Amino acid sequence: MAVRPVLIERPPPAVWAVLADGDRYADWVVGTAGSRPLTGTWPQVGSALQYAVRIGPKVLHGRTVVRACEPVRLLELEAQSRLVGTARIGIELRPWGEEHTLVTIDEHPLTGPGGRLHNALADALLHLRNRRMVQRLAHVVESDAEAAPSDG
């Protein structure tokens, strides 16, 4: 299981605004080359996005389904790929002081080859991927806040 925390220097509603915007999914999820709505209204439970992954000239598609959603606190996703199976991605937001958010991403394979072949090496690779993912999420959230017009 790959658990990765990051401290984002913005309050939880700012982080949630990015997570709750399905059009921004490819901005912070490592490995995706694009995404689009598939069913429902993101991030309601049962809604889904289709995502694309580019491997050289090939483009592979998968989908991500919302399995649990508690706005501004928790988003649990199931990523589905024909190639590797399914994975659970839990994203928890906790206020850290008044102006920051502690975000924890917890990912592990559920089914398919990823689930059957899950081992320490796979966890190490997930840790590397998730480190980059939380860094990207922090960058997107903090950049949005810097770009917002100031009250003055």
Are 24 and 15 in contact by the 8 Å Cβ rule? The answer is no
124 within domain boundaries: yes
Residues 6+ apart with CB under 8 A from 137: 6, 8, 15, 18, 19, 28, 103
pLDDT of 118 reads 64
Query: CA 34: distance to chain centroid?
Result: 13
pLDDT tens, residue by residue, 106-134? 988 888 766 566 667 666 666 677 788 88
Amino acid residing at 74: L
39 within domain boundaries: no
CATH number assigned to the domain comprising residue 126? 3.30.530.20
50 within domain boundaries: no
123 within domain boundaries: yes
46 within domain boundaries: no
23 within domain boundaries: yes
Q: For residue 109, give its domain range.
A: 2-31+66-147
Q: Tell which residue, 38, 45, 87, 88, has the closest CA to residue 66.
A: 45
pLDDT tens string, the chain, 152 residues long: the values are 578 899 999 999 999 999 999 999 999 998 888 889 999 999 999 999 999 888 788 888 889 999 999 999 999 999 998 877 898 999 999 999 989 999 999 988 888 766 566 667 666 666 677 788 888 999 999 998 777 665 54
| Dihedral in degrees, nearest 10, Cα atoms 73, 134, 59, 1 | -80
pLDDT of 27 reads 92
pLDDT of 84 reads 74
Count: domains in the chain: 1
53 within domain boundaries: no
| Six token digits for residue 26 | 């490819």
Task: State the Cα–Cα distance between residues 87 and 78, nearest whole angstrom.
Answer: 6
19 within domain boundaries: yes
What 8-state DSSP symbol labels residue 33? Answer: S
- Residue 55, judged by CB atoms within 10 A of its CB (0-12, 13-18, 19+), counts as exposed
